[in-house]
Every structure is written in C-alpha cells, then in structure tokens.
Amino acid sequence: MPQPQPDVQDNQSPPSSHEPKSYASIVSRSKKVGYVAMHGVYAARRFLDSEISTPAPGRFMPTLVKPEDSHASNLRKIDKLRNMAKKSHEMLVSASTVFPLTFFIDTVIVDRTKVTIINRTFFFTAKTVSIRIEDILNVSCSVGPFFGAVTISSRVMNSTDHFEIVNFWRHDALLLKHIIQGYMIALHNKVDTAQLNRDELVEHLTELGHESDR
C-alpha cells in the first residue's frame, strides 16, 4: 500500500507581499536624500558663481571694531596727559632785563601755553604772574637805540591788567613782542601749532607777529 506523500506546500509559507513595498520605500527615500544633497550643492554653486558687489569709491564698508579695554584706554589718556604737560612747558623764548639798569633782574618766559613774568624785588624774593595766551588782549613795545620795554595787557575777570617790563635789550623786546603777537594771531585764527617743533614754531610766530614796515 503506497505511503501518503507529505504535503510540502503546507510547510512552505507563501511569498510575502511586503517585499516589493519595502524595496520601493528604500528607493524612494534614497531619491529624497539625493535630492536634498544635490539641492545644497546647487545652492552653494549658485552662491559662488554670483557676483559680489563692491562698495563704490568713497564709501566704506562697516567693520566690527573690538571695544577698547578700559585699562588700556586709561593708560592712553595718562600718556596723552603726560605728553601734553611735557610739551606745554617747552620754552619758546626767554628774555631778562639788563643789569645794572635793573639791579634785581626781571624775566619774561613764553612757552606753548602761557607767558610767565617774574618780577624780582629783592634777593631770593620774586613775584611770578602767568598769563594764558588766550587771555592776552594786546602786547606792545617801545624801543630806543639800545634798550626797550614790553607792555602786556591781559583779561582778568571783568577788568584789564597791564604789565610793563622795562630795560630789555632792544632785540629781546622786539622778539618778545613778535612772538606773543604772532601767537595771539594764530590762536585767533584757530591754527593748530601742536604739530610744529620748537624751532619751526618760533620762526612762524616771529614772522606772523612781525610788522610790515620793519
């Protein structure tokens, strides 16, 4: 009697219907990833190929400036103050009266910021007056064959003070007058004299304060 054959088909599972769908899903996702990647590449290429506009002549593009450190700023201000103080005491001209016409010699000193008058009345005794160049209203001199005198008028509050120093050498009296008057004219016209060295400043002020008939 023949043996019954086992039903092979009963042990075999039917082919899964999800396999084609899974493959199609993977392909679709790959296409999306490739599209996104290529879109980024195309965008970068368009940016690199585009023209970058340059600023027109005379215009400046804004730049980011690093804020200055407060300590460095303070040091810079201190150095500027020191240089200003040192330069302000730079003497332009100094003249003293003639001995023995004046037994106790008087002196007039002109620097970059002020005129200092030292009036000596006795041994180791002196009266010193400092006048800013901006406060000088007028300067005049009277000269003779050998000697001369200088008169300086300054503004003090609501009044005017006059300082007369006599018995200079003629050349010294004229030099004081020319430099002080030239400095007054330069400040009145708002001329910046800080960039000039001492010799250049003295030369220009003397020429500026010189009378046209001399």
pTM of full prediction above 0.85? no
For residue 75, tell me if it sits in a domain.
no
Over the stretch 99-157, which tens digit does the pLDDT of each residue have? 988 889 999 999 998 999 999 999 989 999 999 999 999 999 999 999 999 999 998 77
For residue 178, tell me if it sits in a domain.
yes
State the residue range of the domain holding 107. Answer: 90-208
Tally of domains within the chain: 1
For residue 110, tell me if it sits in a domain.
yes
φ, ψ (nearest 5 deg) of residue 141:
-145, 150
Listed in sequence order, the residues at least 6 apart from 163 whose beta carbon sits closer than 8 Å to its beta carbon are 117, 129, 131, 151, 152, 153, 154
Domain CATH code at residue 143: 2.30.29.30
Percent of the chain with pLDDT over 70: 74
Dist. CA 193–CA 210, nearest whole Å: 18
Over the stretch 67-88, which tens digit does the pLDDT of each residue have? 657 778 788 888 777 777 777 7
For residue 117, tell me if it sits in a domain.
yes
